[in-house]
Each structure stands twice: as structure tokens, then as C-alpha cells.
Amino acid sequence: MVEFPFYSLFVSSMITLFINGSPQIFATVPTVRQVLDERGMTGRRVAIECNGDIVPRSHYDSRALAEGDRLEIVVAVGGG
Amino acid sequence: MTFPVSPDPFILAGRTVRSRLLVGTGKYADLNQTREAVEASGAEIVTVAIRRTNIGQNPGEPNLLDVISPDRYTLLPNTAGCYTAEEAVRTLRLARELLDGHALVKLEVLGDADTLFPNMVETLEAAEILIREGFEVMVYCSDDPILARRLEDLGCVAIMPLASLIGSGMGILNPWNLGIILERAQIPVIVDAGVGTASDAAIAMELGCAGVLMNTAIAQARHPVQMAKAMALAVEAGRLSWRAGRMPKKPYRASASSPLSGLIQ
């Protein structure tokens, strides 16, 4: 039996998501809701796109993310 | 107003809008000034932009929607900064999600970073897709009457030609083109972009426009809140003036206002 170092379990579960273009590392696969909570956006009015498709607010808890997913998280700002 | 004026509701996409002045929320010193100026303008329709949020920075940072409440104003998400139909459509799908299914949007697809002139080829393409998806599209466009007609035929709910370049404050540069568009359009024509001061807004309304949309003219005035009020008055004055019907111009002959009889001899 091949022995894996203990930390390989941990390392293999790390995933990278690209949020608003910047790579962000998560220890475990998060839901969309967990991404918001971990990045200080709990309760903020946002809209989210994953790989070009809208993620409806009602799917934040259930939507499964995967390695390399590209999330866009937008808000309303001042503009003409 | 206390004198009798017959009702003149501003109907846009089947709904009655309180004010013919539409305002943007960009370029203000801070959110407090944004709130005060928008309030002073009396506008109901207020444009907002859609942008990436700053991840993890200032979680308690004040939000535009805290001061411009969607309960109080009709928010008009725009596609400012988009240069292709695809970017514009994507932005407005996000906006619809952000604003709980809100369908009224401002489409603008830019063609050039120096002039911010609209790219009408991309604009037409985006309008078609958005209308198919159930959006109510108010569209920033060039003042070309043929393209304006095309946008109307596609099913846009308002045509919004520029009066001069976005943020230029140069005023109404081609009233004749606007006049041709106005003569033919069956949907509201709203001047969007170029207004610099209150008289420009009044001129747009005197031409017969259904409304005026502006941002920089208010936000970059020395006193934005005062200018917001001035714009509200100008839009109202211009509209009343258009409805009242101006006197005919008589370029070559004066006409005395006082009686010619009964003069002291």
C-alpha cells in the first residue's frame, strides 16, 4: 500500500475559484452562500454569475461549485 | 401648480412616471450628495451602473442602494462601459437578478473610448436579444432617424439619442435631427447625454422630447443639489412651453406690445 503524507488529504481538497477575475483558494468546496459569507458579503445585495450563467439567489445554498469556476459578483454603483 | 393645466402624464412602457427628468448617480462627491441631488431633482427614474464588488474589502462599506432605495425610485440599470452586445446583455441579465426581476433597463453599447459614441451595430443586436428575453429597453443611440426608427420597430420602449457627447455639457447640437426623430417616433424620445445647463434641458423639452436624462450636468455643477432643482424646473418649463405652443417667429418685422391708439399727443 502506498503511503500518502497526512497533508495530501488536505491539499487535494483545496480548490481555486476565480472571483471577479482573481484566484481565491478555499479549503473545501464551498457553496455560493459560503463564498459570500467567507468574503464578508453576507446580506449584501449582489448578483452572481458562474461561468457566464446567472446563479439565482434561491440557489445560493444548493449551487455546487467546482475547481476553476469563474464567479462574477456584482453590485449597483453610481453611474449615468 | 395652482393654475389649471390639463393632465400630462408621462407614460413609459405602460406605466406612469412622476417626472420627465431622469438622472444618473455617477460622479458625485459622496453618497450623501448623490442622495440630496437625486431628491432635489424630483426624478423617479434613476440610473445605476453594475460593477464587480470589491471582494473582502470594507464589508460595512455604504451601498448606493442604501441611499437610492429601489422602494422609492425606479432604478434603471445601465450598460455603461460595455463595448459589445454580448457584454451589454450579460450586464443586464445580472442587473435583472440584482433588482429582483426588474425589466426596465438602459442599453448603451459604446463604440469608442474617446467619444463614448454609441456603436449602433452592437446596440441593435443587443436590443434584439434583450427584447426577446423580456426586457423593456430604453436605448442610448445616435441621432440618426433611420436607426431610431429601427430601434422602435424592434420594440424598444424609449429612444434616447445623444444631444452631444456623454459628459461634454455641449448642449443640443443638432436640434434638426432630434426634430426628425421626434416627428416620426410613436414611443417616448428622451435626450440622453450632452445637456450642460438648465436652458439645454428646456430646449430639449421645447423640441417635444418626452424627457431628459442627465448625470454630469448635475453632478459636476459647482452646487449639484441646486443644479438638480434648476434642471427639474427647466424640464417642467420646457414641457409647458412646448404644450403651450410658442408664438410664430417674425424675423423681419417688429410688433408692438402696447396699444398704438390713445397715445398722448
| B162-172 tens-digit pLDDT | 999 999 999 99
Percent of chain B with pLDDT over 70: 97
Domain edges within chain A: 31-79
pLDDT band at A64 (very low <50, low <70, confident <90, very high): confident
Rounded Cα distance, B237 and B5, in Å: 13
Rounded Cα distance, B263 and B250, in Å: 25
Percent of chain A with pLDDT over 70: 84
Measured from the Cβ of residue B134, the count of other Cβ atoms closer than 10 Å reads: 9
Tell me if residue B106 is catalytic: yes
The CATH architecture that domain A31-79 belongs to is: Roll (3.10)
What are the φ and ψ backbone dihedral angles of B56, each rounded to 5 degrees? 70, 0
Domain edges within chain B: 20-243
- Name which of B53, B65, B74, B106 to mutate to probe chain A: the one with the most chain A Cβ atoms within 10 A of its Cβ: B53
A68 close to B (CB below 8 A): no
pLDDT reading at B147 higher than 90: yes
What confidence score (pLDDT) does residue B246 get? 94
Q: Which CATH class is domain B20-243?
A: alpha beta
B173-228, pLDDT tens digit by residue? Answer: 999 999 999 999 999 999 999 999 999 999 999 999 999 999 999 999 999 999 99
Residue B126 to chain A, least CA–CA distance (Å): 16
B59-111, pLDDT tens digit by residue? Answer: 667 889 989 999 999 999 999 999 999 999 999 999 999 999 999 999 999 99
Apex CA B67: angle with CA B63 and CA B68, to 5°?
100
Mapping DSSP onto H, E and C, the string for B3-44 reads CCCCCCCEEECCEEECCCEEECCCCCCCHHHHHHHHHHHCCC
Residue B252 to chain A, least CA–CA distance (Å): 43
DSSP A41-55: -TT---EEEETTEEE
Percent of chain B with pLDDT over 90: 89
- A75:B98 CB<8 A: yes
pLDDT band at B2 (very low <50, low <70, confident <90, very high): low
Residue A13 to chain B, least CA–CA distance (Å): 23
pLDDT reading at B58 higher than 70: no
pLDDT reading at B131 higher than 90: yes
What confidence score (pLDDT) does residue B231 get? 98
A37 close to B (CB below 8 A): no
CB A80 within 8 A of CB B162: no
Average pLDDT over residues B145-157: 98
B28, B50, B167 ranked by CB distance to A76: nearest: B50
A63 close to B (CB below 8 A): no
